[in-house]
Structures are given as structure tokens and as C-alpha cells.
Amino acid sequence: MVVAIIGVGLIGGSLAISLKEKGMASRVIGVDQQEQNIKKALDLKLIDAAATLDEAMQQAQLIILAIPVDALMQLLPAMLDKVQPQHVIMDVGSTKKKILELVAGHPNRGRFVAAHPMAGTEYSGPEAAIPNLFTNRTMVLCDVKNSDEDALEIIETLVDALQMRLVYMNAEEHDLHTAYVSHISHITSFALALTVLKKEKEQGRIFELASGGFESTVRLAKSSPDMWVPIFKHNRNNVLDVLDEHIHQLQQMKQLLEEEDYDAFYKLIQKSNKIRKILK
């Protein structure tokens, strides 16, 4: 099958590698607004050829949108206007509700499958693409009842080829859950980086003692604002809810420390230790 990948960055590029490797794509066509991304993707042999969006839609059967969610909102309706019965369009966006609302009434809605691979790194661009990014990770497919059966089957085959775990969810649930297990992690990392960078400016030498623990909590702060601002925008209400709750938890810890109520602080940490059951 010929696959077109719109946006040859970390996710698009990694998909290109894996779909070729697993025999799912006979040929990968890359589309990217940024000339330098196309050049790098060709140099790195992530893609077989470059094309415009229109050319790509003529040549490919499967078209994967791997661009920030705001750009996705711009492109998707016009693509559905032009879609042919043999086409399947899949996205890999990190939010789902607004996108699915946007195309809800479209006569060709059935050719679209809304997907979100729960995989990534803090890096971006074609040079960040890596093999096996998706292996053993979860792929969420949203509101699949609105996709045509044959289109869905192709995406399910793709999920299988990528050796991913498949989860079905509705868009609302998806956006709520990702706010809690993905979006807030990025917010706390950004805020933590800002906190420590500010102190470094006043004090200097702050990072000399940074070790694995700090790196672990702050590495997501390397993530690109081009990707993340549109996510926070799309998922604003859920992100605000979880941010409220997180600030509340921090304020509770602060209060216990102010009151020197170390017994209650101990119990709070014990409670948070229950995360051991969830993380391996």
C-alpha cells in the first residue's frame, strides 16, 4: 500500500520507518510545509519521495496526518471534500473532541479514522524519528462507529503491524484521560524548568547537583511549543481541571509543611506511593 505522511516530524517520521519495516507500506510519500523537513526526511531515507498534498492524495491509499492539532483542523475538512472511496485518512493528534466535532457532519466522515498513538519523546523534527517508537505502546481509536468498516479495518491492521495495544474510546473520554496522564505532565515539567531556570539566574550553579530524578521530572520541558500550545488550547477545559487539582495538591503539601504536620505529610506520601501498583 502507498502511504502518504503529512508532517514528517518525530511521529510521522517514526511511522514511516515502522510501516516500511513491517511491510505495511510499499512506498512512503512525504508532505511537509517546511522545505528543510522534506530535505532531511529524504536524506534520512524516511520517505521515498516528496509531494504536495494534492499529489499525495492522488498516489496514496492511506494518508496519515502527523501535524500539530491546530494545523490538522485547517487541513482535514478540505481533505475530506476531495477524498475518494479508496482513501483512508488517519490522524495522530493528541486531542480528539474538537477535531471530531469539526468533521461530524461531513458526508465523507466515514473515510476518516481518529487515532492517537500514546508514544513520543521530548524531541521533534525528522531527525528525532526512531524505529520501534510504537512497539508495545497503546493506540487509541476514537468514535470508531463513525468510520467506515473497511477504513477501520485498514487502521486496525496497521495497529497490529506496529505491534501496538489497541484501545477504543470516545473522544470526550480520550481528552479527559490524556489531560491527566499526558498533558499535565508536560505542564508540570514546563513549570518546573521555569522555576529552576529562574533560580539559576539569581544564584548560579543550581544545575551542578542535578541528577537522574531532576532530569526525569523536567525532560518533557524540552518539548516543542508548536505541538503543545494547540493541544492545551484544544483541551483547555480538561487541562484547567487537572491543573486546578494539581495546584490544590501542591498547596495542601505546602500547608502541611508550614504547619509542620509531618504525620499528615507522611500519610500523603504513602498515599501517592500507590502509584507503584500502576507503574511497573
State the helix-helix crossing angle for 236-258 and 262-272, rounded to 10 degrees.
140
Least distance between a second copy and beta carbon 2 (Å): 29
How many CA atoms, within 13 angstroms, populate the side-chain half-sphere of residue 115? 32
Binding-residue total with a second copy (CB under 8 A): 90
278 binds a second copy (CB under 8 A): yes
Residues of span 37-96 touching a second copy by CB under 8 A:
none
Adjacent-strand bridge partners of 64: 5, 90
214 to each of 89, 105, 217, 220, 249, how far by Cα in Å? 40, 47, 5, 11, 20
Residue 259 per-residue DSSP state: T
User: Using CA atoms, how far apart are residues 127 and 210, in angstroms rounded to an integer?
Assistant: 27
Q: Quick one: 146 or 224, whose CB is closer to a second copy?
A: 224
Residues of span 244-273 touching a second copy by CB under 8 A:
244-247, 249-251, 253-254, 257-258, 260, 262, 265-266, 268-273
202 binds a second copy (CB under 8 A): no
User: Using CA atoms, how far apart are residues 225 and 272, in angstroms rounded to an integer?
Assistant: 30
276 binds a second copy (CB under 8 A): yes
Least distance between a second copy and beta carbon 58 (Å): 35
Contacts of 218 (CB under 8 A, 6+ apart): 189, 192, 193, 196
Residue 183 per-residue DSSP state: I
Least distance between a second copy and beta carbon 1 (Å): 27
- Long-range contacts from 106-110, C-beta under 8 angstroms, 24+ separation: 106/77, 106/80, 108/80, 108/81, 108/83, 109/80, 109/146, 109/147, 110/146, 110/147, 110/148, 110/151
98 binds a second copy (CB under 8 A): no
Least distance between a second copy and beta carbon 207 (Å): 5
Which one among 23, 105, 107, 212 touches a second copy, defined by CB under 8 A?
Answer: 212
Which one among 140, 142, 151, 159 touches a second copy, defined by CB under 8 A?
Answer: 140
Query: How many angstroms from the chain centroid is the CA of residue 101?
Result: 19
- Per-residue contact string for residues 176-195; x = within reach of a second copy by CB under 8 A: xxx-xxx-xxxxxxxxxxxx
Q: Quick one: 52 or 214, whose CB is closer to a second copy?
A: 214
211 binds a second copy (CB under 8 A): yes
Q: Which stretch binds a second copy (CB under 8 A): 16-24, 49-57, 154-162, 212-220?
A: 212-220
Q: Which stretch binds a second copy (CB under 8 A): 8-16, 38-46, 77-85, 242-250?
A: 242-250
Which one among 9, 12, 110, 120 touches a second copy, defined by CB under 8 A?
Answer: 120
Residue 133 per-residue DSSP state: S
Least distance between a second copy and beta carbon 98 (Å): 14
User: Using CA atoms, how far apart are residues 147 and 110, in angstroms rounded to an integer?
Assistant: 4
Q: Which stretch binds a second copy (CB under 8 A): 52-60, 72-80, 148-156, 170-178?
A: 170-178
Q: Which stretch binds a second copy (CB under 8 A): 25-33, 44-52, 97-105, 175-183?
A: 175-183
User: Using CA atoms, how far apart are residues 122 and 219, in angstroms rounded to an integer?
Assistant: 7
